[in-house]
Structure 1
């Protein structure tokens, strides 16, 4: 089954949304910064092209070319190229000393060829002359050039080129985009580092925030895990809970309240029924025993009374087990704690097994002086139940193995026997009350299916447990675990 985590999905979705926003913001920001850099460079190119109209004399082009690197706010290491032609296309001045890229001159010529010729200058209508000299006219007004700016690539450089034509001169300037590209590469690297870092922070924050938001669900899970027959009184406080979870918690608390009430009624009924039946069964058993003594030995009446007495004793045993189970369910099973030597108990019971089932091979591995604090009578009942099952459900001429040893502060008692394989469906229900592997519930194997359930409840009342081992084929093994307290410590 594929596992799914709502908290993980919230964190991933938040990270995906934040990542999309950050990547989109980074891309838009990068292009905006790049366009701003290009626009600033174009403005500088336009200023220099306009400045070229103020230096029409041939002898001043050298000074104009040498001042270009400083005019662009760079040093002489940044490639800059300048080409000045006259109106007939003859070269007046060429500046390309820094760059080793000779293809830029070809690009400058191409740009000048593609640049349109400006319209002839228009003369502004003269104002009314204050003097009477008709020849005192103002100089013609020359429109600012309309340059074309393009980015072109050569074999080694990227260039931003601006070109303009004037009536008496043609000027083209190319500036390397090396500095701009370096700045944009730096910004790109900053984004590559900052965006993943920001996404990591977003993912961590979303994980923490979702965990905080789902804390009431965790509280519900914790309470559900504690809901046993002894934990039905658990309730989740609503005082500090978010509004969205209040209704859910209220419904859950109400469900626990109904379960507690129903279980209390059922447990009280079982205990009351066991108590009420205990007295008449005791009386009936006494009357049968007294009547049995009065009838003739070997008669048919004696046989019938003997069968009835066996059934009454069996019914009394059922009532006694039900009473113990009802006390365990209510958490009221009282234990008379004393120091119990489990090694001695097991040795004594092994002797009984050898007498009751001489056809079975009994193998023991019991460590000496395994002492625990417990109720001796109840622990004897647990061991008797396990050994009784090992005898009843054994194979013909089978075997029984008893292992008892200490692991750190825990006593482990394992009782295994040869048997047919238990189906998986029965393994899951083997501790259920009134469950038996024999579906027909015949009398071939005595029992009503309460022994293992009661044995596990007694073990848990001693802060231990009783489990069915996952063993190999052809055997069944149960392991009883009990804590060894300091008073119950013994040598190995």
Structure 2
């Protein structure tokens, strides 16, 4: 149980942005402090070593001069050596020759020569050389030696006790390590507080989003108070809320429209059934009731099919199988299907389309059929319906125009809405569902195009289907 709690807590911490920022901030701060402290330590230690080296060099030069002046008079050389050693505390000087060994030494006791660990290095060549020598655990020396040519040759050794310097550098290292550790702790604490404060707007945004519900989609969260890093997110979220609000409103209207439209045929069916069952009737009356019910069933079936099509058309994943079609042939097949109806109504159908188009044949025919049905319904005897094509720079247009009754300006803004009909009585008589033009608009949206209507009362109506142009040498659709 405890292990599971620790594991869960570790997972939560690993997902925390504040913790990640804190660790990166602490790591960077500690690294910078450690690098800066190490650089200062190296500069300090190097400066101290160079200062000590300058002292040793000066002592070697002084002893070298005394050795040159003394010749074989070791008394004067010993005096000069002791004098040079006495000017600075902790200086030891001795001079050696190959066969004679040590000829002079500045002190009677020399810890480098008389201790348990005797100094045994010798310079190679005529250049000055130096070493760091440790006699005991805490007793350090810096030794410099130089060979002096002559007959016989001599070697001058000068040693300086550097225990205080090493102790000081050790204290500096410990202080630096302690400072880095304290800086790490302060960076973690301060970084976490800074990160939590910096991420406070994120928590505020999360709280606002969590409080939103379907009834509060009208709320907007973008504003000048958000940091620039969250302003874009807040703006995008507002646009998402706007799309959701529109979708909910559209679904609500759609549901209300469906309930309203389904209620009429259901009431008709129920009323006719109750009326028929109210008393015994003859066979002709029963058949009339069944025939009327069949008309309502057909209208319901037509409405359900149209609604299913619209629902599928609104799915973003809808993918069309499109081909390059001969638009004249497609229109000709639709005109042939409705020619009998047009002849009965004494309406002339003119197919003047001359273009190829990339589209789904079934959906194109359905859109044209809906437009022709509407045109035939509103064109009086002796009228005509003309179907032709036009091109713009980016669009290919199929245009269906009639010289019928036309549409009022008030209705023109709503004709593409579902279940809308300017002649409500006509819908009540079962002549249409009010979904034809809504289906046309959905079909055009699936093709990446647009559907428009231009009309005026008494001047006829023009329906324009605009398809995006795909040139034959640029597409993969062969003409059918």
TM tier relative to shorter chain: 0.3 to 0.5
Higher helix share: 2
TM-score under structure 2 length normalisation: 0.41
TM-score under structure 1 length normalisation: 0.40
